Chain A
Amino acid sequence: MPPAPPTVERPQRWDAAFDPAMTEADVTRLLAIPPFNKMLPAYFPKRTPLREILRHDTSIRHYRKGEIITRQGDYGTSAFLILSGTTRVVLKPDLPPALLGRQAPVKKGIFRTLAQFWSGRRQPESYSRAQLRPNAGVGARQNENAEVHVFLQDLPRVLDQHRTEEMAAGDFFGEIAALSRMPRTSTIFAASDTAELLEIRWQGLRDLMRADNQLRQHINRIYRERALASYLRATPLFRYLSKDQLDQVAAQIEFATYGDYDWSGEYKRLAQSGSVRPEKEPVIVQEGDYPNGVVLLRAGFARVSQKFGSGERTLNYIGAGQLFGFDEIAHNFQQPQSPVSVQHSLRAIGYTHLLIVPTRVMEQIVLPSLPKNELPPLVSLTTETSAVIPDAPTPRAAQDRIGAATLEFLTANRFFNGTATMVIDLERCTRCDDCVRACASTHDNNPRFLRHGPSSGRLMIANACMHCADPVCMIGCPTGAIHRESFAGQVVINPVTCIGCKACANNCPYDAIRMVDIRDEHGDFMVGEDLKPISKATKCDLCVENHGGPACQRACPHGALERMNLNNLATLTDWMKR
Chain B
Amino acid sequence: MSRFRRQFFIGIFLLALASGLAVMAHNRWNPALPNYAYFTGWVLLAAMILLALYNARKRLPFLPLGNSETWAQIHIYAGFFAVVLFLIHLNFRLPTGWFEGTLAWLYALVTGSGIAGLFLSRVLPRRLATRGGEVIYERIPALRHALRQEAEALTLGDQTKSPAIAEFYVRELSDFFAGPRFFWPHLLESRRPLNALAAKLENLRRFLNESERATLEKLARLVRQKDGLDYHHALQTTLKLWLFVHLPLTYSLMIFSLLHVVLVFAFSGGAR
Contacts and interface: CB of A to CB of B under 8 A. Distances in A.
A460 interface: yes
B63 A113 contact: yes
A119 to B, nearest CB: 10
A565 B137 CA distance: 28
A321 B29 CA distance: 66
A550 to B, nearest CB: 10
B112 to A, nearest CB: 19
Interface string A547-575: 11001011111111000000000000000
A455 B134 contact: yes
A558 B118 CA distance: 10
A518 to B, nearest CB: 20
A426 B58 contact: no
Contacts of B243: 432
Contacts of B71: 557
Contact of A431 (B60, B68, B236): B236
B210 interface: no
B68 A116 contact: no
A442 B69 contact: no
Contacts of B129: 426-427, 457-458
A362 interface: no
B134 A460 contact: yes
Contacts of A441: 60-62
Interface string A449-466: 001100101101000000
Given A427-B129, A452-B134, A460-B134, A555 B124 contact: no
Which label, helix, strand, loop or mixed, suits the secondary structure of the A interface? loop
B136 interface: yes
Contacts of B128: 426, 431
A320 interface: no
A438 interface: yes
Nearest to A453: B134
Interface in B110-162: 120-121, 124-126, 128-129, 132, 134, 136-137
A578 B69 contact: no
A188 B88 CA distance: 75
Nearest to B235: A431
A434 B134 contact: no
Contacts of A558: 69, 72, 121, 125
Interface string B55-89: 00010111111111101100000000000000000
Interface string A409-446: 00000000000000000111111101001100110000
A556 B69 contact: yes
Given A426-B129, A452-B134, A578-B4, A437 B121 contact: no
B2 interface: yes
B249 interface: no
A557 B72 contact: yes
B171 interface: no
Interface string B85-121: 0000000000000000000000000000000000011
A559 B76 CA distance: 14
Contacts of A120: 62
Contacts of A133: none
B221 interface: no
B61 A438 contact: yes
Contacts of A560: 125
Contact of A432 (B65, B66, B136, B240): B240
Contacts of A548: 63-66
A547 B72 CA distance: 20
Contact of B62 (A434, A546, A556, A578): A546
Nearest to A115: B62
B125 A428 contact: yes
Contacts of A578: 2-4
Contacts of B166: none
A551 B59 CA distance: 12
Nearest to A557: B72
B22 interface: no
B68 A555 contact: yes
B61 A431 contact: no
23 contacts: A113-B62, A113-B63, A427-B125, A427-B126, A428-B125, A431-B125, A431-B239, A438-B61, A438-B62, A442-B61, A452-B134, A455-B132, A458-B129, A551-B62, A553-B67, A554-B67, A557-B58, A557-B71, A558-B69, A558-B125, A559-B4, A559-B69, A578-B4
Given A548-B66, A554-B61, A577-B2, 14 more contacts: A113-B63, A117-B60, A427-B125, A428-B125, A431-B125, A442-B62, A457-B129, A460-B134, A551-B62, A556-B67, A557-B72, A558-B121, A559-B4, A578-B4
Interface of B: 2-4, 58, 60-69, 71-72, 120-121, 124-126, 128-129, 132, 134, 136-137, 236, 239-240, 243
Interface of A: 113, 116-117, 120, 426-432, 434, 437-438, 441-442, 451-452, 455, 457-458, 460, 546-548, 551, 553-560, 577-578
